[in-house]
């Protein structure tokens, strides 16, 4: 019988890492089954539960429920999922748990799940990663500005020990731990956090004969394999090398239990290594305009604001060395006046939706859908529309996002530090022909770091666009308000990357050859 693995997913967020594992299909079967996924944030837990319900419903009935397709398309209110299918809902609520690791309630639930997994599956896998705020460069910079902040008292520095505690109790065949690159340089108690982590991992199994070999994911000649790491930076995984349309670089540690570690030797998989761009990810999505946050918001008002900004910029650049920018701004003005986008939301699927042979698009597009979901724009201040317009035209022309010093003085925001260099990247456009910069939870704020590359749209990214950059399939719904949806997307592991990691784990633990899917 083929080996099946039960999954424990910690710090699950909306479920990106778990989605990659649970969606992997090998020879018509799914070798990874999530037994429990733990997330303490309420809106992310709702998202996680809905996804678990869909997974269970599809397994039980062989298709997506029509009620979900209608809800996804905005044709109905959210159904009572339990009434729709009580058995699938029970599976989902048993799997997705709103718990805080370190509490007695969480410990009891995980211990119960471990008992069930050991009885139901051949072996187990532990996946997840502690919240990254205490390790990220941005998070550390913010912490320094807090009066009385003491790193040693920040519990977020030690959340990896909650993961290790479960690892010690579960004793899985393998584990996958993910975190930000900042973990490699973060210190607490005058010690490197990464050193503390590796020491704790290495101490597991002492005296019991079941330790873990730490492996890094290496790419060579279009294939990924698990190798011993020579230095901490070897654990950095670059999502764009796996075909994710985003330069998201994260620390990923794979541990293989010592009694089966010899199986890894010589195993590799072919990866989806084609370089993916922002324009690839946005393929087929309807063009939209932003809103105006202060004052009248209407298609006519928005068109007038953008045309005025384009004409102002054309006038500014008419006597400069790079006069072609003047023509670019005038072309935007003409285009918006003629056929510019007038809608702030769009759900219409293109005629060729779901027919692509491209592996990323096959992953993103789900043929049973009737519409795009969560593709609605935010409103911006009229003054920011000019900055967004300038950034997008400049980026298309020069193939890099403008710095503060590149902006005309007429577009300078009323901020005393604008010219100090502190806010050098305050406005950042995503380049159409490149992978995006890292999508983070900061996208939930003002959107200035995530400007759409199309000057004709003059806006920040929608939740669906951010989700596509993170490689979430189009049928993945993020519940909660829009701010919560952005945070969920920004904090997640790209499922398209996670699925390839799952494939590598599977081939490394089971088969003797290599895998090309």
| DSSP reduced 3-state for 178 | strand
- pLDDT bin (cut points 50, 70, 90) of residue 206 is low
Report d(CA 56, CA 514) in Å as an integer: 30
Which is more confidently placed, 516 or 232?
232
| DSSP reduced 3-state for 196 | helix
CB 461 within 8 A of CB 375: no
One domain, residues 112 and 162: yes
Give residue-wise pLDDT tens across range 233-271.
999 999 999 999 999 999 999 999 999 999 999 999 999
Residue 272 domain-assigned (yes or no): yes
One domain, residues 257 and 110: yes
Question: Does 220 have pLDDT greater than 90?
Answer: yes
When mean pLDDT is compared across 129-138, 189-198, 255-264, 464-473, the lowest value belongs to: 129-138
User: What's the rounded mean pLDDT across residues 296-302?
Assistant: 93
Report d(CA 49, CA 319) in Å as an integer: 58
Q: How many CB atoms lie within 10 A of CB 206?
A: 9
Number of domain units in the chain: 2
Residue 395 domain-assigned (yes or no): yes
- pLDDT bin (cut points 50, 70, 90) of residue 516 is low
Question: Does 488 have pLDDT greater than 80?
Answer: yes
Q: What is the pLDDT of residue 425?
A: 81
* Closest listed residue to residue 235, CA positions, set 210, 223, 253: 253
Q: What is the pLDDT of residue 156?
A: 47
One domain, residues 383 and 432: yes
Q: For 241-281, where are the E strands, in sequence order? A: 249-257, 269-270
One domain, residues 149 and 177: yes
Residue 501 domain-assigned (yes or no): yes
Report d(CA 472, CA 365) in Å as an integer: 10
Provide the domain limits for residue 312: 278-491
| DSSP reduced 3-state for 510 | coil
Residue 515 domain-assigned (yes or no): no
CB 404 within 8 A of CB 424: yes
Residue 514 domain-assigned (yes or no): no
When mean pLDDT is compared across 20-29, 55-64, 186-195, the lowest value belongs to: 186-195
Percent of the chain past pLDDT 90, that is, above it, reads 76
One domain, residues 293 and 263: no
One domain, residues 392 and 505: no
Give residue-wise pLDDT tens across range 385-429.
999 999 999 999 999 999 988 999 889 887 767 776 667 788 999
Question: Does 145 have pLDDT greater than 80?
Answer: no
Give Cα separations from 386 to 26, 50, 89 (angstroms): 50, 40, 48
Question: Does 430 have pLDDT greater than 90?
Answer: yes
Residue 333 domain-assigned (yes or no): yes
Q: What is the pLDDT of residue 318?
A: 86
Give Cα separations from 155 to 101, 105, 150, 285 (angstroms): 12, 19, 10, 41
**pTM (predicted TM-score):** 0.93
One domain, residues 319 and 464: yes
Q: What is the pLDDT of residue 514?
A: 52
Scan for tokens 């502690």, then name that residue.
130
Q: What is the pLDDT of residue 142?
A: 47
Question: Does 143 have pLDDT greater than 90?
Answer: no
When mean pLDDT is compared across 5-14, 93-102, 324-333, the lowest value belongs to: 324-333
- What rounded mean pLDDT belongs to the chain? 90
Report d(CA 92, CA 53) in Å as an integer: 5
Question: Does 147 have pLDDT greater than 50?
Answer: no
If 0-12 CB within 10 Å is exposed, 13-18 middle and 19+ buried, where does residue 474 land? Answer: buried
Residue 44 domain-assigned (yes or no): yes
One domain, residues 242 and 108: yes
Determine the distance from the C-alpha atom of residue 397 to the mean position of all C-alpha atoms in its chain, rounded to a whole number. 28
User: What's the rounded mean pLDDT across residues 445-450?
Assistant: 90
Residue 155 domain-assigned (yes or no): yes
Give residue-wise pLDDT tens across range 342-401.
899 999 999 999 999 999 999 999 999 999 999 999 999 999 999 999 999 999 999 999
- pLDDT bin (cut points 50, 70, 90) of residue 132 is low
CB 245 within 8 A of CB 436: yes
Q: How are the residues of the chain apportioned to helix, strand and coil, as percentages rounded to the nearest 5?
A: 45, 15, 40
One domain, residues 406 and 449: yes
- pLDDT bin (cut points 50, 70, 90) of residue 339 is confident
Q: How many CB atoms lie within 10 A of CB 298?
A: 11
One domain, residues 269 and 165: yes
One domain, residues 160 and 308: no
Q: What is the pLDDT of residue 154?
A: 44
CATH of the domain at 58: 3.40.50.150
* Partner residues linked to 214 by β-bridges: 255
* Closest listed residue to residue 102, CA positions, set 44, 164, 34, 195: 164
Residue 282 backbone dihedrals phi, psi, to 5 degrees: -90, 5
**CA quadruple 426, 432, 436, 437: dihedral sign:** negative
Q: What is the pLDDT of residue 208?
A: 61
Q: How many CB atoms lie within 10 A of CB 471?
A: 31
One domain, residues 189 and 319: no
Q: What is the pLDDT of residue 209?
A: 60
Q: What is the pLDDT of residue 207?
A: 56
Report d(CA 469, CA 308) in Å as an integer: 31
Question: Does 135 have pLDDT greater than 60?
Answer: no
Q: What is the pLDDT of residue 511?
A: 67
Give residues with Cβ within 8 angstroms of 60, minimum separation 6. Answer: 85, 87, 88
Q: Compute the radius of gyration of the chain from its Cα atoms.
A: 24
Q: What is the pLDDT of residue 129?
A: 87
> H-type helices in 207-343, by residue range?
278-281, 299-317, 324-339
């Amino acid at each position: 019988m083929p080996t099946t693995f039960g999954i424990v997913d910690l710090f699950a967020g909306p479920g990106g890492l778990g989605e990659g594992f649970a969606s992997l299909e090998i020879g018509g079967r799914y070798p990874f089954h999530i037994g429990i996924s733990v997330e303490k944030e309420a809106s992310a837990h709702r998202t996680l539960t809905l996804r678990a319900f869909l997974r269970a419903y599809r397994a039980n009935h062989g298709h997506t429920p029509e009620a979900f397709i209608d809800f996804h398309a905005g044709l109905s209110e959210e159904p009572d999922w339990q009434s729709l299918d009580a058995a699938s809902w029970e599976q989902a609520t048993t799997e997705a748990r709103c718990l805080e690791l370190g509490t007695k309630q969480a410990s009891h639930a995980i211990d119960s799940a471990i008992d069930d997994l050991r009885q139901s599956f051949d072996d187990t896998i532990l996946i997840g990663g502690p919240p990254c705020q205490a390790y990220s460069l941005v998070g550390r910079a913010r912490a320094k500005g807090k009066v009385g902040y003491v790193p040693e008292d920040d519990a977020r520095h030690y959340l990896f020990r909650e993961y290790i505690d479960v690892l010690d109790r579960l004793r899985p065949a393998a584990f996958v731990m993910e975190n930000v690159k900042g973990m490699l340089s973060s210190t607490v108690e005058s010690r490197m956090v990464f050193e503390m982590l590796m020491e704790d991992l290495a101490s597991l199994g002492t005296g019991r004969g079941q330790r873990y070999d730490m492996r890094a994911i290496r790419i060579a000649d279009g294939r990924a394999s698990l190798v011993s790491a020579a230095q901490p930076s070897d654990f950095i995984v670059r999502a764009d090398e796996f075909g994710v349309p985003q330069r998201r670089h994260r620390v990923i540690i794979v541990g293989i239990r010592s009694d089966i570690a010899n199986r890894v030797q010589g195993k590799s998989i072919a990866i989806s290594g084609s370089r993916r761009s922002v324009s690839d990810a946005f393929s087929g999505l309807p063009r939209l305009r932003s809103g105006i946050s202060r004052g009248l918001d209407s298609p006519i008002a928005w068109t007038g604001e953008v045309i005025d900004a384009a004409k102002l910029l054309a006038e500014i650049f008419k006597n400069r060395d790079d006069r072609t920018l003047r023509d670019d701004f005038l072309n935007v003005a003409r285009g918006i006046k003629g056929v510019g986008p007038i809608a702030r939301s769009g759900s219409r699927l293109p005629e060729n939706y779901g027919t692509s042979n491209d592996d990323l698009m096959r992953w993103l597009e789900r043929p049973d859908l009737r519409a795009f979901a969560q593709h609605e724009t935010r409103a911006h201040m009229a003054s920011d529309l000019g900055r967004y317009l300038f950034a997008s035209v400049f980026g298309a022309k020069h193939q890099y996002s403008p710095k503060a010093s590149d902006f005309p003085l007429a577009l300078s925001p009323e901020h005393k530090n604008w010219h100090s260099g502190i806010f050098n990247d305050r406005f950042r456009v995503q380049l159409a022909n490149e992978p995006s910069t890292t999508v983070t939870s900061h996208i939930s704020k003002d959107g200035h770091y995530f400007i759409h590359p199309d000057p004709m749209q003059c806006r920040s990214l929608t939740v669906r666009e951010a989700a596509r950059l993170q490689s979430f399939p189009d049928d993945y719904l993020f519940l909660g308000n829009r701010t919560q949806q952005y945070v969920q997307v920004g904090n997640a592991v790209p499922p398209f990357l996670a699925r390839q990691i799952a494939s590598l784990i599977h081939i490394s633990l089971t088969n003797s050859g290599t895998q090309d899917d």
